[in-house]
Amino acid sequence: MESRLFEKPVFRIAGDRGLLVEFGEGIDPKVNTKVRAMAKALEKKIPKGVKEMLPTYRSLLFIYDPGVTNPDMLCKLIKRVENTLEKIEIEPWKVVEIPVCYANKFGPDMENVQKAHGLTTEEVIFLHSKPEYLIYMVGFTPGFAFLGGLDEKLHTPRLTTPRMLVPEGSVGIANNQTGMYPIASPGGWQLIGKTPLKLFAPDRANPFLYKAGDKIKFKPISQTEYDLLEQKEKS
């Protein structure tokens, strides 16, 4: 899908309690910035009757109480706010460094990625760890970050048969995205490495290491470094 920013938001009914507001197409920083700006503008004063606002790469989903508000009322409000978004200051992103061990036992699908693109292990690691990836949204499981900016040379389809359980901390590729599994869960991403960091810790003051709008930078580490960091995380 070609990326583009819509001139005006597109409104779509999502069931009997949802309104989807689309700001563009594709995975694009400009589109996502518009999503974040709208969310921030409305967070200060949640529209009456709105129970949840769920941001995605390119849209905002409003879950509302039909006894209090309706799509027409929400559309009018959103159109008014949309005209003020240029005044909204988006917090500058922070870059969060995530150490990743790309050793064989942590990257069971590394060979799949190599064969799909005719690359060596070293080339895959270099291409994967070079960019700073924008976090477009967090979801699926607590702390699962959907990242944009994966090099086209690494775009690889998901596994034909998903795994019943992907280990916590696994780093993988699915089509034009890369991401990390904060908790053990089912998944079909091509696994190429693993981080020793606890990406989601509910007992921590801040359970998450990052949020939507931040950037992720992967840092290749050795097995020895992985083991040391893992012990530190457990202590």
Same domain, 184 and 158: yes
Q: Of 87, 117, 146, which residue is a domain's last?
A: 87
What is the residue-wise DSSP string for the chain?
A: ---EEEEEEEEEE-TTSEEEEEEEESS-HHHHHHHHHHHHHHHTTPPTTEEEEEE-SSEEEEEE-TTT--HHHHHHHHHHHHTTGGGPPPPPP-EEEEEEE--GGG-TTHHHHHHHHT--HHHHHHHHHSSPEEEEEE-SSTT-EEEE---GGG-BPPPSS-EEEEPTTEEEEEBTEEEE-SS-EEE--EEEEE--S-SB-TTSSSSBS--TT-EEEEEEE-HHHHHHHHHHHH-
Residue numbers of the chain with a pLDDT score lower than 50:
none
Q: Of 63, 87, 111, which residue is a domain's last?
A: 87
Over the stretch 153-209, which tens digit does the pLDDT of each residue have?
A: 999 999 999 999 999 999 999 999 999 999 999 999 999 999 999 999 888 888 999
Per the structure, the count of domains in the chain is: 2
Q: What residues are paired with 145 via a beta bridge?
A: 138
Same domain, 125 and 78: no
Domain range spanning residue 69? 4-87
Tell me, what CATH number does 59's domain have? 3.30.1360.40
Same domain, 195 and 102: yes
95-101 vs 133-138, strand pairing mode: unpaired
Same domain, 143 and 213: yes
Tell me, what CATH number does 221's domain have? 2.40.100.10
Predicted local distance difference test score (pLDDT) of residue 182: 95
Same domain, 83 and 121: no
Same domain, 222 and 113: yes
